Amino acid sequence: MPNDATPAPHSVRPRPDEPAGGTSPAPAGAGGGPPQARTADLGIVDSLAQLSFLVQGTLGKVAAEHGLSIIQLRLLGVLRDREPGMQELARHLGLDKSSLTGLVDRAERRELVRRAPAPHDKRSVLVSLTDRGHEVAREITEDADRRVHALTADLTDAQRGELSLLASALVNRVTTI
């Protein structure tokens, strides 16, 4: 029976420059050589999916090195610049009420977050970072920034600027739909 070429686990489909039955070469900026060596366009869906996998993998490593899960890292990231109620926080993180409650409980036990009654509605609570939570979030942000910037090391400053603008435009558009 012939052996079907199976995409690498991080691929949505095989890359155009991937040998049949082989694994994908490292993406640009991941130590696999200059980006001009791999100029085949993956298409928007595969490009964004593979970029997402790279960034999520990087953030997962950062989280693990700080003794956190990826969802705990996301919690700290959301709380860096806001003090949302539980419903708003659930929306930001894409969690149901019971999952969020458990997540906040665990972070509270680690003294990373605190809950306080909402001034406008005593039945609601607001979640915010503690001083320790702010410090951990700052360390994680610096570490994640350094590692994600390494993913774009082979790009010129102009290309990095363009990538940042395009990614921001997509994120801003999606969050307003």
- pLDDT over 90 for what percent of the chain? 65
- For the stretch 55-75, pLDDT in tens is 999 999 999 999 999 999 999
Q: Which of 106, 128, 103 is nearest to 115 (CA)?
A: 128
Which domains, from first to last, does the chain contain? 42-145 (1.10.10.10)
Between CA 141 and CA 144 the distance in angstroms is 5
Residue range 146-152: mean pLDDT, rounded: 91
Q: Is the pTM of this model over 0.75?
A: no
Asked if residue 174 has pLDDT above 60, the reply is yes
pLDDT of residue 173: 83
What separation in angstroms does the CA of 92 have from each of 19, 55, 71, 74, 79? 40, 18, 11, 9, 10
**pLDDT-based confidence at residue 176 (cuts at 50, 70, 90):** low
As a whole number, mean pLDDT of residues 91-110 equals: 95
Average model confidence (pLDDT) across the chain: 82
Q: Which of 93, 69, 98, 71 is nearest to 82 (CA)?
A: 93
